[in-house]
């Protein structure tokens, strides 16, 4: 039997098994051998890309940054070959209660700001860097309260953001960071009741997940994998449920131009070094 292309994915929720089993059947129906390995955290998954365990990884943006740095430090290369349409051009928002006296970022001095998990690009790293660029440093100009949940999963589960939103409504914190899509989702859920909050700041645009090749992955297999992804049509009833579960309508070619904000944040917050080594002392995954 032809050796399958092995993909790594992080099990951030039970639906992950359903998603990739469905993709496995889709690929098999197109005579492409594919299998996957689930990891409990992105750090282990990225490391597996360099020991020959997997050919490609469904990586968070932070995992992409680490994989790219590790590859460069070793004289190797990795590529971002595909991403979802919903991974492009996102932003995080700083939310306050409607009755808050905070009307702009400068008014956060002396306040308590809620953030997501320590390794969340959208709810911790990029927001911390955004405030730093505005002249506000955590622990100096304001108190940062981090809502760590399922660390190692890079905020994919959004639980930390939801906890921060609940703390905001309970009056435990003065403001909370979350990705803009979750601000809308929490409003629909009733976590943030309609009219109860307003946005006082927004980060620049950034990209989210991508399929990252491992060094030495067979070009022909990767090319076929990407070709089949791009052929998944929203109006195909056998495919649409998988796309819905994975949160997209169409796959796009991978790009790395949308990771500049995260790269800067990783350096400013000293999360990884230039070789991809983890620098954060209290990071447990």
Q: Which domains are delineated in the chain?
A: 5-87+208-268 (3.40.190.10), 92-202 (3.40.190.10)
Average pLDDT, integer, range 251-273: 97
User: At residue 24, does pLDDT exceed 70?
Assistant: yes
Please, what sign has the CA dihedral across residues 40, 187, 184, 23? Answer: positive
β-partners of residue 210 are: 59
Which residues make Cβ contacts (< 8 Å) with residue 220, sequence separation at least 6? none
Tokens of 190: 């009733």
Calpha distance 184→186 (Å, rounded)? 6
Kindly report, residue by residue over 86-110, the tens digit of the pLDDT: 999 999 999 999 999 999 999 999 9
Region 135-164: mean pLDDT is 92
DSSP of 142-189: BEEEE---STTSTTTT-HHHHHHHHHHHTTS-SEEEEEHHHHHHHHHH
Identify each DSSP E strand in 209-278 by its residue range: 210-213, 251-253
The distance of Cα 256 from the centroid of its chain, to the nearest Å, equals 14
Share of the chain above pLDDT 70, in %: 100
pLDDT at residue 282 above 90?
no
* pLDDT at residue 1, as a whole number: 64
Angle, helix 180-189 to helix 159-169, in steps of 10 degrees: 60
Query: What pLDDT score was predicted for residue 103?
Result: 94
Residues 143-156: what's their mean pLDDT?
Answer: 92
Whether residue 60 is predicted with pLDDT greater than 80 in this model: the reply is yes
> Region 220-240: what's the mean pLDDT?
97
Alpha-carbon distance of 59 to 62, in angstroms, equals 8
Mean pLDDT, the chain, integer: 96
């Amino acid at each position: 039997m032809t050796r399958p292309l092995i993909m790594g994915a992080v099990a951030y929720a039970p639906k992950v098994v359903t998603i990739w089993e469905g993709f496995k059947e889709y690929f098999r129906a197109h005579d492409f051998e594919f299998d996957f390995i689930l990891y409990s955290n992105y750090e282990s998954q990225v490391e597996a890309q360099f020991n020959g365990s997997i050919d490609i990884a469904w990586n968070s943006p932070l995992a992409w940054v680490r994989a790219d740095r590790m590859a460069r430090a070793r004289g190797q290369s990795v590529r971002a070959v595909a991403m979802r349409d919903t991974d492009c051009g996102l932003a995080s928002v700083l939310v306050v209660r409607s009755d808050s006296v905070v009307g702009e970022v400068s008014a956060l001095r002396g306040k308590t700001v809620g953030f997501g998990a320590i390794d969340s690009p959208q709810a911790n790293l990029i927001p911390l860097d955004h405030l730093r660029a505005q002249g506000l440093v955590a622990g100096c100009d304001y108190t940062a309260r981090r809502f760590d949940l399922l660390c190692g999963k890079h905020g994919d589960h959004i639980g930390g953001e939801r906890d921060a939103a609940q703390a905001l409504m309970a009056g435990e914190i003065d403001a909370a960071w979350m990705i803009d899509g979750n601000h809308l989702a929490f409003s629909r859920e009733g976590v943030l009741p309609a009219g109860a909050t307003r946005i006082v700041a927004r980060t620049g645009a950034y990209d989210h997940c991508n399929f990252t090749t491992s060094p030495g992955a067979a070009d022909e297999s990767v090319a076929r994998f990407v070709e089949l992804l791009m052929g998944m049509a929203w109006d195909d009833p056998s495919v649409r449920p998988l796309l819905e579960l994975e949160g997209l309508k169409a796959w796009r070619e991978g790009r790395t131009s949308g990771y500049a904000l995260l790269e800067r944040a990783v350096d400013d917050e000293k999360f990884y070094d230039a070789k991809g080594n983890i620098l954060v002392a209290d990071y447990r995954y």
